[in-house]
Amino acid sequence: MERTRDKVLGTLYGQAVGDAFGMPTELWPVETLRTVFATPVTDFEAGPRTNSIAKNYQRGQYTDDTGQALALLDGLITTNWVPNQAELARQLIDSATAADAWNQNILGPSSKAVLLALKDGRDAQQITDQAVTNGAAMRIAPLGALFTPPQLDDLVRLVTRVTRTTHSSDVAFGGACLIAASVTAAMADYAWDDLVSYALRACHLGYQLGAPTWAAKLPARVNLALDLARRYRGDAARFSQAIYEVVGTGTALTESVPAALAIAYYTRDVQDCAIMCANLGGDTDTIGAMATAICGAKTGVAAFPDGWCRLIDRQNPEHDLRGYAQQILQY
């Protein structure tokens, strides 16, 4: 149950790989994706000029999903792992500014509204309490690498305190706790069904701490997605289509989080996971970041295809993922 460097790096590079792999197709309907890419995406690609969000990214660059994940780590490291809302907000604002996110239409709607309010010195709680989009979960996977399974209460406490900066709804807390706990269980090499059970326990605890919303309940949506994974075992194309059509792959937590966990559960492999997410349609970079982080935590970075991590390092020189791994291991 010991946290290892291989598993921590698997989490961090899994997040980055899934994000960068899904970036070229993000927020496109599957029909558009298949028109622009005549064959399935099976390698890193540059953002197409016709994708208004991805067009400014080069091959192997990750998006704000991973940028915000690392900004949260920076905020926690700066305060010796004690969450400070002002510092976390500052780091997220600085990360968005560095990426020119305000002008490039990069930020999700909840995070953008909250961070603009905080920049102006306004109280953002009314926004955070109603935030049901996936910004809370897309950046949380690395925090799961801080814990071992017996520390579930500590994990939920940290994740919800960090998430509260931009998202404080019940579904946001539940989704963030579910993704982080999936990583924790994956690093401990839980069997996949046990991993899901552990993640759903964390999800339940997170729900109890958030502001109530009318959003669909994540556990029910996760079980729906997992039922599809079991039904279409051995038929990846039909499974992917079912996730897209039945569960949904949009920016709502209740779509993208169940989709990500089910795809990780189905593929159980970093390469297969990244490829499936990139060709899914919808919020491909975010679903890819979450799902591939879980797979990477399970397999460790040693199982990644040759050259993938070097490409991530070369194309994103502003961050040192191995340095972050060392900080996480010292937590």
| pLDDT digits 0-9 by tens, 246-280 | 999 999 999 999 999 999 999 999 999 999 999 99
Average pLDDT over residues 295-308: 98
Paired strand residues for 169: 211
pLDDT value of position 152: 98
Give the sign of the dihedral formed by CA 183, CA 189, CA 192, CA 197.
negative
Q: How far is CA 328 from CA 3, 72, 321, in A?
A: 10, 12, 10
- Does 106 score more than 80 pLDDT? no
Assign residue 217 a region (left: φ > 0; alpha: ψ between -120 and 50; beta: otherwise): beta
Domains of the chain: 5-329 (1.10.4080.10)
pLDDT interval class at 1 (50, 70, 90): low
| Ordered DSSP codes for 6-75 | HHHHHHHHHHHHHHHHHGGGTTB-HHHHHHHSSS---S--PPPTT-TTGGGPPTT---HHHHHHHHHHHH
Paired strand residues for 28: 282
pLDDT interval class at 95 (50, 70, 90): confident
pLDDT value of position 44: 98
Residues 6 or more apart in contact with residue 244 via CB below 8 angstroms: 30, 280, 281, 282
* Ranges of H-type helices in 109-235: 109-119, 125-128, 135-138, 141-144, 152-163, 170-187, 192-207, 218-231
3-state secondary structure of 123: coil
pLDDT one-digit tens code per residue, 154-200: 999 999 999 999 999 999 999 999 999 999 999 999 999 999 999 99
Locate 20 and state its tokens: 């960068």
Locate 308 and state its tokens: 């993938």
pLDDT value of position 127: 87
pLDDT value of position 237: 97
pLDDT one-digit tens code per residue, 5-23: 999 999 999 999 999 999 9
Give the sign of the dihedral formed by CA 202, CA 331, CA 86, CA 119.
negative
* Ranges of H-type helices in 208-320: 218-231, 236-242, 253-267, 270-278, 284-299, 308-315
Locate 285 and state its tokens: 């970079």
pLDDT value of position 105: 67
- Does 124 score more than 90 pLDDT? no
Look up residue 150 and give its DSSP letter: G
Listed residue (75, 57, 56) closest to 19, CA to CA: 57
pLDDT one-digit tens code per residue, 201-235: 999 999 999 999 999 999 999 999 999 999 999 99
pTM flag (> 0.85): yes
Look up residue 133 and give its DSSP letter: B
Residues 6 or more apart in contact with residue 20 via CB below 8 angstroms: 44, 57, 60, 61, 62, 63, 66, 285, 312, 315
Locate 230 and state its tokens: 């079991």
pLDDT value of position 172: 97
pLDDT interval class at 102 (50, 70, 90): low
Residues 6 or more apart in contact with residue 196 via CB below 8 angstroms: 182, 222, 226, 261, 265
* CA atoms lying within 13 Å on the CB side of residue 61: 14
For residues 265 and 267, give the distance between their C-alpha atoms in angstroms, rounded to a whole number.
6
